Amino acid sequence: MFFPVGAHKEVGLAFNPLKAIISPRPIGWISSIGADGVHNLAPYSFFNAISESPPMLAFSSSAGTEGDKDSLKNIEETGDFVVNIVSKQLFEAMNASSAALPRAVSEFAEANLTPKPSKLVAAPHVAEAPCYLECRLWKVLDLPASPNGNANRLVIGEVLGIGIEKALITDEGKVDVTRYQPIARLGYKDYASIDAVFESPRPQE
Ligand SMILES: Cc1cc2nc3c(=O)[nH]c(=O)nc-3n(C[C@H](O)[C@H](O)[C@H](O)COP(=O)(O)O)c2cc1C
């Protein structure tokens, strides 16, 4: 089967399969703070690491009818943010934090989570998260807008600091993801968790 973008229904697919195909995607659970001091928390799965040294990551925010999302507005105002990692245990809280709340309302309270002060940035992190990355904004790139005119904007940040819960570190000094089972986004309303890992050397190693 092959079809040009947008023609999935003509070949019998009820939904656009793009996000099911580009999966699993990690979830950047972005915490930020506005100039007014209000905290914000929301999940973004158009998210990934984009370079190792310096460590950089990016997520993209798709504007709605009311313009840019609160995370992006805060990050542009204050110049920093934190990426929190979603464990299996935190799945429901992550989902709750995706509710479209007024900017003056913090999703931390709504999702029953604790905002904890960060060390290197103004944005708080999620105290309950297994790991988090404190980031400084590098650039916001304007991507092509959607056909209805809504903006898509790519937020690129540099990782300045890394927080990891001690109990997740093995005797060998590695992070054992199976101890917190990070959640990944698939297509449709589907998710997966990393419950098992296998190791393999690279060729010539
Ligand atoms: C798992 C998950 C992944 C999401 N990924 C994105 C994304 O990549 N980009 C985006 O614009 N919205 C994404 N959303 C929707 C936002 O989380 C939602 O619009 C949220 O209300 C934005 O909050 P904010 O305005 O406080 O930033 C996602 C929602 C969920 C549940």
Q: What is the CATH number of the domain that holds 156?
A: 2.30.110.10
Closest CA to 73 of 112, 127, 30: 30
Provide the token pair at 189: 């309303």
Domain-embedded: residue 9: no
53 Cα to the center of ligand 1, angstroms: 27
How many CB atoms within 10 Å of residue 34? 20
CB 94 within 8 A of CB 146: no
Domain-embedded: residue 180: yes
Domain-embedded: residue 5: no
Domain-embedded: residue 200: no
* Domain that residue 114 falls in: 26-193
Please work out whether the CB of residue 185 comes within 6 Å of at least one atom of ligand 1.
yes
Predicted confidence at residue 65, as pLDDT, reads 84
Segments in the chain below pLDDT 70: none
Predicted confidence at residue 3, as pLDDT, reads 98
CB 110 within 8 A of CB 70: no
Provide the token pair at 139: 């650039």
pTM tops 0.75: yes
Predicted confidence at residue 205, as pLDDT, reads 72
Ligand 1 atom 20, closest CA? 98
44 Cα to the center of ligand 1, angstroms: 5
Domain-embedded: residue 198: no
Predicted confidence at residue 66, as pLDDT, reads 85
| Residue 173: strand, helix, or coil | coil
Strand order in the sheet with 25-26: 25-26, 183-185, 191-193
Domain-embedded: residue 199: no
Domain-embedded: residue 8: no
98 Cα to the center of ligand 1, angstroms: 6
| Residue 15: strand, helix, or coil | coil
Q: How many domains does the chain have?
A: 1
Domain-embedded: residue 16: no
Please work out whether the CB of residue 31 comes within 6 Å of at least one atom of ligand 1.
no
